[in-house]
Amino acid sequence: MTNSSARFLEAAPDAIVIVDRAGLILLANFQTEKMFGYTKQELVGQPVEVLIPDNLRSKHQHHRSQYATDPHPRAMGSGLELHGRRKEGTTFPVEISLSPLEEPDGLVVMAAIRDVSARKISEEKIRQNEERFRLLVEEVKDYAIFMLDESGNVASWNEGARKMKGYAAEEIIGKHFSRFYSSEDLDRGKPEEELRIAATEGRYEEEGWRIRKDGSRFWANVVITALHDKTGTVVGFTKVTRDITEGKRAREAFLLEVTNTLISNLDVRQLLSAIAACLRQVKAFDYAALALYDERTKMLHTQLLESRVSVASAGSQEEADLPLDRSPAGWAYTTRKSLLLRGSPGEKMPFDMPAHLPQSLKSGCWIPLLGRERVLGTLNVFSVRPDHFTEDDLNMLTQIANQVAIALDNALTLRRVSDLSEKLAQEKLYFEDELKTEFNFEEIIGQTNAIRRVLKQVETVGQTDSTVLILGETGTGKELLARAIHNLSPRKAHTFVRVNCASIPAGLLESELFGHEKGAFTGALAQRIGRMELAHEGTLFLDEVGDIPLELQPKLLRVLQEKEFERLGSNRTISTDVRIVAATNRDLGKMVGAGQFRSDLFYRLDVFPIIVPPLRERRDDIPLLVHYFLAKFAHRMKKNIETVPVDKMNALSNYAWPGNIRELEHVIERAVILSRGPVLNVPPFETAAAEEVLPAPSSTLENVERDHIIRVLRESNGKIGGPGGAAERLGMNRTTLNSRMQKLKISRKDF
């Protein structure tokens, strides 16, 4: 043997031995050693029967003698049951190919041996499984389970099929399965259509009437599944039929169960899931939605319940607004009648499948939801298959829709009650918070012309519904004027809601104003009603409106223009009837020029501007205010203080009051605390003349505020919080002061 031949034998995947005419082994490769456990040296010169089980050796010698008389090639898998024997005595199944070779020394035979133990085990398992499945199918008595060839002819028939349909196997095998259908179904080609759908989609399922051998009908659930070969070609079908006539008769009981299920789900989102689940029990579908009437738009707004098809096709939408006069849902809503679109060729219908639905849908039902006092909308159910819905289906779905309407009416009523309760709870918390604030003036104090002009403006605009912008320095009483405007308006019976835009972090201001849904952001553990919603039919006071971030200003502008908004994390539009009164100590005109405030929002707010004079411009009102605050705090602290020294009153009147009325109030409160007798003990304070602290003509309110805060910080020796700190002296919270310092770029080096 050549070297190349030897290398070939060693590289072969099978065990190879070469045997002479006498049956002695001349050569064995490595795979032979591995398979049988002998070394090559042990095998060479041994009869080949050493590799054969003991009980087969004599038989093998006989076959070998016959083969020697007529040597011929024999391929593996020839159908012979062959076995090999390992050195340690165990046997195993093999396949052997034989190739006679003429050598110079005479005829030799090359045998290639393959261990097929694993394959035999797999084949046996398959055989056992097939037998078990055959026995299982044969023994199932409640289901008709049979096979169809690719043309629809019956190829197998179980005992359940015989009992259900009345045919013996020998009567039906080879016959077309269309004989199980009614004449109406045959006329419209239903059997062929079912096979076509099963072949295209892999599976077909439906409920309908079927015919027994004796002509009687039964209501059946039918599932047809396509069988494919390795190339994907359909080679047949399995068909499973279940007689559910008794189930059809029991649907009244089922409807009662559906009613209990739906009515027990009062949360709207949970109810939507329950509706889809109940529909699925009645009829298979591919797409279902509600279309609910929206009083605001006078249209039907769709809401998806469940979809098993892609909604990404051209023009399709999960939500859409449908007109009442040009849509099947609108027709069903207006007429209070159900509409069935079969989708079959040549069908004459007033409407086609609406464009907002996925294009793959071919048939559908639109069923009115008849509430106790009104039509709520429609229940819409669709299929990708034409003629999927029958009149029986429509009748059953109509009964379901009646229960859906009752449950939906209850859920919507509960939502309205819940929203009202939430609003009342928020109002309670808001008013409790308001009682704790320091801006609790009982009336506006002043006799000067400056304040009288302002009060006249308040009286004029208060009786209207116009937007008001109050401008003035910090502490001049802008909120007090906003409350007066509200109390003079027709809205006074409703809520006055205040939002300090400067004291709320920018990231939370949108939620504070417009509310949020549960899960809208990290930490949103529950739904929250915003101040805008809380102020419905009342007045919303936006204090420090100049601090609203630019990115939030369009949403506020929309409220002013269109009276609507959405909560954070929701796409449901909420209409609101709210009057906006805004206030600021900043120059919004300059902010517009600097790109820090939207011009369109500024003009919407600046409908009726009111400029509040600082206290230094109405110094004749200072004695009135001093006596007012003295009486207020003396009564609160149960002290009897009757007089204010003249020199102290002059000092108070001559002081510039950069912190305005709020600063004066806090000075008088401290004086009452320090007083021990009937005379007010006013503590020392800086008494600079008013002219010395007036801002230059070019100064802005922001610059004035910055200078004032720095001066108070210096007087407090840099102390921001706590008793005697700058925050207390300025009449604001420590966090608010820190926020203002950051906005005005005030750092430690400035004071």
CATH code of 31's domain: 3.30.450.20
- The token pair that represents 88 in the structure block: 């340690």
Closest by Cα among 179, 139, 168, 173 to 156 = 173
Residues 355 and 494 in one domain: no
Residues 273 and 406 in one domain: yes
Helical pair 449-462 and 478-488, crossing angle rounded to 10 deg: 40
- In tens, the pLDDT along 40-62 reads 899 999 999 999 999 888 888 88
- In tens, the pLDDT along 504-520 reads 887 788 888 988 887 77
- In tens, the pLDDT along 452-481 reads 889 899 989 999 999 999 999 998 989 999
The CATH number linked to 263 is 3.30.450.40
Task: Report whether 334 contacts 300 (CB < 8 A).
Answer: no
Boundary (domain end) residue, out of 556, 590, 611: 611
Tell me, yes or no, whether 191 lies in a domain: yes
Closest by Cα among 369, 365, 400, 370 to 257 = 400
Element (H, E) at 183: helix 183-187
The number of angstroms, rounded, from the C-alpha of 746 to the middle of its chain's C-alpha atoms is 45
Tell me, yes or no, whether 664 lies in a domain: yes
The CATH number linked to 585 is 3.40.50.300
Binned at pLDDT 50, 70 and 90, residue 558 comes out as very high
Beta strand ranges found along 324-427 (DSSP E): 339-341, 363-370, 375-383
What residues contact residue 121 under an 8 Å CB cut-off, 6+ apart? none
Q: How many domains would you assign to the chain?
A: 5
Residues 243 and 254 in one domain: no
- Compute the distance between CA of residue 574 and CA of residue 159 in angstroms, rounded to an integer: 63
Task: Report whether 637 contacts 629 (CB < 8 A).
Answer: no
The CATH number linked to 659 is 1.10.8.60
Binned at pLDDT 50, 70 and 90, residue 694 comes out as very low
Tell me, yes or no, whether 135 lies in a domain: no
- The token pair that represents 290 in the structure block: 């509600």
Residues 453 and 576 in one domain: yes
Tell me, yes or no, whether 128 lies in a domain: no
- Compute the distance between CA of residue 358 and CA of residue 23 in angstroms, rounded to an integer: 76
Residues 464 and 394 in one domain: no
Report pTM: 0.43
Four-CA torsion 340, 343, 347, 353, nearest 10 degrees: 70
Four-CA torsion 196, 200, 205, 206, nearest 10 degrees: -50
Closest by Cα among 515, 509, 485 to 580 = 485
Boundary (domain end) residue, out of 216, 248, 280: 248
Residues 229 and 368 in one domain: no
Residues 266 and 204 in one domain: no
Boundary (domain end) residue, out of 248, 278, 299: 248
Residues 210 and 265 in one domain: no
Beta strand ranges found along 120-255 (DSSP E): 143-149, 203-211, 217-228, 234-243
Residues 94 and 146 in one domain: no
Tell me, yes or no, whether 132 lies in a domain: no
Tell me, yes or no, whether 130 lies in a domain: no
| Of 271-280, 513-522, 666-675, minimum mean pLDDT range | 271-280
The residue-averaged pLDDT of 206-220 equals 85
Residue 671, pLDDT > 60, answer yes
- In tens, the pLDDT along 582-631 reads 999 999 888 988 889 998 999 899 889 999 999 998 999 999 999 999 99
- Domain around 21: 3-119
Residues 260 and 155 in one domain: no
Tell me, yes or no, whether 449 lies in a domain: yes
Beta strand ranges found along 592-697 (DSSP E): 608-611
Closest by Cα among 661, 665, 595, 582 to 629 = 665
Residues 448 and 509 in one domain: yes
Residues 332 and 352 in one domain: yes
- Specify the pLDDT at position 431: 52
Residue 155, pLDDT > 80, answer yes
User: Which residue(s) pair with 102 in the sheet?
Assistant: 107
Tell me, yes or no, whether 423 lies in a domain: no
- In tens, the pLDDT along 241-262 reads 988 777 665 454 454 555 555 5
